[in-house]
Amino acid sequence: MPKLIRFVNWAKWIAPLGVLGYVYYPTFVWMAERWSARDSYFGHGFMILLVSFYWIIQKRNVLTNCEHGSNFFGFLILITGALVQILSSVFRIYFLSAFSFVLVLFGAVYFAFGKKVIREIWFPILFLALMVPLPLLFISEITLRMKFFVSEVSVFLLNSIGIHSVREGSYIYTPHALSLIGDPCSGLRSFLAFLCLGLVFAYDSRLVLWKKVVLVLSGFPLAILSNILRVFSLSLLGEIYGMDFVTGRVHDASGIVVFVIAFVLFMAIRKKLEIAHVSFQ
């Protein structure tokens, strides 16, 4: 009898989940295509799903023992998400549809199970928003601005050590070399990676709120600084050894090296915040 009751409790969610899957199927396909695209900024989307699911599974015992009850505020969030989805479907705005899915999921859980349940898993649900690819036009604009900033600082550093350099658009001219600053050198991909890592570490830590914020936000300057180092180093090597030297393996290896350096610094910041937290306690 208990097994039958458990089966009935699970079976009653099949229809709503089926409807949800049907409504958002085109959006899921769009997200998967953007995640798997070459040079995608959102290749971490698959991992976001797994991490959120893992966090929720970890809390299964707590969720089972939580008092369940319907909540009207959750219903309002659910309706809001549904309206956003209708608007997204009419105008075929997939990224807005993807955000509405997170909103609908949050509202549905809140409405069906109540405040105590949503209090336990609000973060894993909202964390799913990081899997949503942003519009390509927005990505291009942000990438361009970050790329120009990285280029400007790199030119300043090159001039500071006596190598005359000038930036024109995405190009850096030195006396004997010409460097094209590509989109990967903007630092946006690194920032998104550190943003995800920062939120994962912040959620799993016992740091006070302001330290969690510092940890999450530290990824942005680290991403910028690491790519400034990369552009500066490649431009310097190109000037000294020629552009043939910095193309191919050296160029690709530089991306890995600067990301590793930034990651080590990121982990050092995390460790420092955790040690300071323990000492303070």
Q: What DSSP string runs through 4-54?
A: HHHHHHHHTTHHHHHHHHHHHHHHHHHHHHHHHSTT-TTTTHHHHHHHHHH
This prediction's pTM:
0.87
Look at 14 and 266; give whichever has higher pLDDT: 266
Q: Which single residue is written with the structure tokens 């075929």?
A: 92
The 177-180 sheet, strands edge to edge: 166-168, 171-174, 177-180
d(CA 231, CA 186): 9
Q: What is the pLDDT of residues 50-93, one digit of tens each?
A: 999 999 999 988 888 888 888 899 999 999 999 999 999 999 99
**Phi/psi of residue 168, nearest 5 degrees:** -130, 105
The bridge status of strand 177-180 relative to strand 171-174 is antiparallel
pLDDT, average across residues 120-146: 94
Q: What is the pLDDT of residues 205-254, one digit of tens each?
A: 888 999 999 999 999 999 999 999 999 999 999 999 988 888 878 888 88
Look at 68 and 33; give whichever has higher pLDDT: 33
pLDDT, average across residues 174-183: 88
Q: How many CB atoms lie within 10 A of CB 227?
A: 31
Inter-helix orientation angle 188-204/136-160, to 10°: 100
pLDDT, average across residues 156-185: 91
Domain residues of the chain, as ranges?
Answer: 2-134, 137-280
d(CA 148, CA 154): 10
Q: Is 178 helix (H, G, I), strand (E, B) or coil?
A: strand
Distances from the Cα of 91 to the Cα of 19, 88, 100, 122, 197, angstroms: 21, 5, 14, 29, 33
Q: What angle do CA 209, 215, 221 make, to 5 degrees?
A: 135
Max CA-CA distance within the chain?
A: 83
Q: Which single residue is written with the structure tokens 């995608």?
A: 40
Closest by Cα among 40, 29, 26 to 136:
40
